[in-house]
Amino acid sequence: MHTKTMEGLVGAKTNMNLLNTPFRVYKDARRRGDQATMDRAMDYVSQFSDKVDEYQSKAEEGMEEDAKEAREKAELEREKAIEKRRKEREELERRTEEQKAADHSGVNADTIEISEDGKVLLKGNDATDQATPDSGASDGAAAEPANIKTEPVIYSKTGTASQSQSSLGTGASVSVSV
């Protein structure tokens, strides 16, 4: 809150409270019929009333200055936000252009990572493919790879693998719903 606003509000409130005493004196003098006391009391009332008006105008000036400062601050904040968005947009456009340039340069490839188990399995498949190269097919089709025997596995809720019920010889059936 601006200093003028606070000073105006406090001054107006104080002078309004000070008006009560001369009014009370005026009412008392009127009951008694004392014209001189009534005139003096009304002079004090008018003086305090004038001060109230001065302080009210000071409070209004302070509130106008507060509003002006608030508008200026909001405008600065708005300009900062616009500048920040502009910089972000330029950065995004720059990254987009770099990505397009990279895509057009022929470096458009994804990378994958193969786990150790996958590498072992891949080597095992390659070895079985090479071990049975053409098994005598006369139409030139590639021979089917040797069957890889894997035991069925059931995964628990925690993600651990266990042998399936059918491989244990229990003959139980498993129903799965999705």
Q: What is the identity of the amino acid at 101?
A: A
Tokens 């900062």, residue? 80
Quick one: pLDDT at residue 75? Answer: 96
Tokens 């003028």, residue? 4
- Tokens describing residue 1: 């809150």
169 backbone φψ class: left, alpha, beta (φ>0; ψ -120 to 50): left
Task: Write out the chain's pLDDT in tens, 178 residues.
Answer: 778 888 888 888 888 888 888 889 999 999 999 999 989 999 988 888 888 889 898 889 889 999 999 999 999 999 999 999 999 999 999 998 888 777 666 555 566 788 888 888 888 776 655 555 554 444 444 444 555 667 777 778 787 877 655 444 555 565 666 6
Quick one: pLDDT at residue 136? Answer: 47
Quick one: pLDDT at residue 140? Answer: 45
